[in-house]
Structure 1
Amino acid sequence: MFFEHSPQVWAQHPTLVAGVLYAEGVAGKPRAELPLAELLGSARRRLDGTTEAAFAEIQAWRRAFGRMGLAPTRYRCASESLLRRLRTSGDLPRVHPLVDLGNAVSAAYAVPVGILDVDRCGGGIEVRQARGDERYLTFGGVEEHPEPGEVIFVDPLGRAHARRWTNRQSGWSAVGDDTRTVLVVVEAMHDAAGRDVPAVLDALAAGLRHGWDAPARTRVLTPEEPRFEA
């Protein structure tokens, strides 16, 4: 399993800070209660009296989406969508314990967190611009083709595991009841990203240890060392 960003992505988004976490042994229900209430409570306190649009983390992704030619209020990064839902409805839906943990950490830190089932990733993921012939599977089971130039997560089989970078994950590698090994991707572009991305990785690793007693490997990627292998 590998994960990397293309040189073009690093060049076009020089403020990007990317981190990855790899963990095995996360099948089944957690053995202990996950810290969802604490994490979501932190997000709610930060939202008190303001909106997610004011957060530096979200503003940085909006600028990145603008550079990609995407309307930032039409296509939101994953963490903005979660915070918006938390602010308007008061809670986040429960999907799967691993996803719930990732969503809660993402909301608490206002940073996109993507969780991929390693066994469904085709051997590796590259974040690059789409050619347009890649195949993307919606959660509803419909296949789409990303637009040429769109930033995607793509495997060696030509399957896109995310569209519009951090906007929408694919059904190809969605976490399910049979998931045993995960690759978690954390990406940020704001000024404090160099501090916050490692903190997000630590929070995710702590949650996996607490819930599944699963050790995790983490790494922060750079343009000089852009590739993670497991």
Structure 2
Amino acid sequence: MQFCHSREIWSDYAELVPGVLFAEGITHDALVEPRTFRFNAIAESRLASSSEGELPEVQAWRRTFSKMGLKPTQYRCASESLLRRFKKEKSLPHIHPIIDLCNAISLAFAIPIAVFDASKIEGSLEVRYAAGTELYSTFSGTLENPEPREVIFADQANRAHARRWTNRQSAHSAISNDTHAVLIVAEALHATADTDVRRLVATAADELHAVWALSAKTGILSLSSPVFSF
């Protein structure tokens, strides 16, 4: 199996820096709360001096959403949405240990992180422009078709695992108590994205090892090295 971005995406967003992890051995009963507190504290410190919309990581995604023809304050990247909720509620709801951990890391870095159940992906997963015929599963149980030219995560079964790039993940590959293997994708476009995504990936890999005693396969993608095999 492989993860990649289309040549069109790289052409239109040359500043993109994707970081990817694949891990097997995830369980639903791990304790991660003490570890998430540290990342929450980092986010709280950053939000004390800047609003989420002022963070360079979020500003870069707002510019990207505008470039895609979306209103940045109507469709927000995943990390901005998490930061807004965290600022209001001072915490995030418990979902699943791997989601809770990745959400906390996303808060600290202000970088969107997507977590997919790898067993639900058919063949390769590509970030590309939609044809409009792909199927997207909502969490309410309905099926949607993305808009043509919308940026999606699509597999070889023509299923969209995320819509509007970092805005909406699909219910089809959402993490559940039965999830064993995960594909984790972090993407950034701000000026220090290369350094920050590398730190994020290293941090996530360390946390996965500490919690589940597993070694994740990791990669940093670029136009010259655009494919992650897992």
TM-score range, shorter chain: over 0.9
Change (3 A) 1:113 1:34: farther
Partner in structure 1 of residue 204 of structure 2: 204
CA distance in 2, matches of 1:73, 1:120: 31
What is the deviation of 1:206? 1.3
Partner in structure 1 of residue 11 of structure 2: 11
Partner in structure 2 of residue 105 of structure 1: 105
CA distance in 1, matches of 2:190, 2:49: 22
Change (3 A) 1:71 1:31: closer
Change (3 A) 1:80 1:156: same
What is the deviation of 1:141? 1.3
CA distance in 2, matches of 1:34, 1:140: 32
Conservation of the 8 A alpha-carbon contact between 1:136 and 1:145: yes
What is the deviation of 1:33? 5.4
Q: For each residue in 1:195-218, what CA deviation from the matched residue of structure 2 results, as whole angstroms up to 9, or x when unmatched?
A: 000111111111111111111011
Q: For each residue in 1:58-114, what CA deviation from the matched residue of structure 2 results, as whole angstroms up to 9, or x when unmatched?
A: 000000000000000000000000000011111111111110011000000000000
CA distance in 1, matches of 2:6, 2:191: 22
Partner in structure 1 of residue 128 of structure 2: 128
Change (3 A) 1:179 1:172: same
Q: How well do the aligned residues superpose, as a CA RMSD in angstroms? A: 1.1
1:167 aligns with 2:164: no
Partner in structure 1 of residue 62 of structure 2: 62
| Runs of 4+ residues deviating >2 angstroms | 31-34
Query: Any stretches of 5+ residues in structure 2 without a counterpart?
Result: none
CA distance in 2, matches of 1:225, 1:154: 19
Conservation of the 8 A alpha-carbon contact between 1:78 and 1:166: yes
Partner in structure 1 of residue 156 of structure 2: 156
3-state SS of 1:35 partner: helix
User: How much identity, in percent, do the aligned residues show?
Assistant: 47
3-state SS of 2:160 partner: strand
CA distance in 2, matches of 1:27, 1:51: 35
Conservation of the 8 A alpha-carbon contact between 1:34 and 1:211: no
**Matching of residues 34-113 of structure 1 within 5 Å:** 35-113=35-113
Query: Any stretches of 5+ residues in structure 1 without a counterpart?
Result: none
Q: For each residue in 1:148-181, what CA deviation from the matched residue of structure 2 results, as whole angstroms up to 9, or x when unmatched?
A: 0000000000100000000010011101101111
- The code of the aligned residue for 1:21 comes to L
CA distance in 1, matches of 2:141, 2:199: 35
Conservation of the 8 A alpha-carbon contact between 2:115 and 2:182: yes
**Matching of residues 176-215 of structure 1 within 5 Å:** 176-215=176-215
Conservation of the 8 A alpha-carbon contact between 2:31 and 2:97: no
Conservation of the 8 A alpha-carbon contact between 2:32 and 2:101: no
3-state SS of 2:128 partner: strand
CA distance in 1, matches of 2:81, 2:169: 13
* Higher alpha-carbon deviation: 143-152 or 133-142: 133-142
What is the deviation of 1:27? 2.3
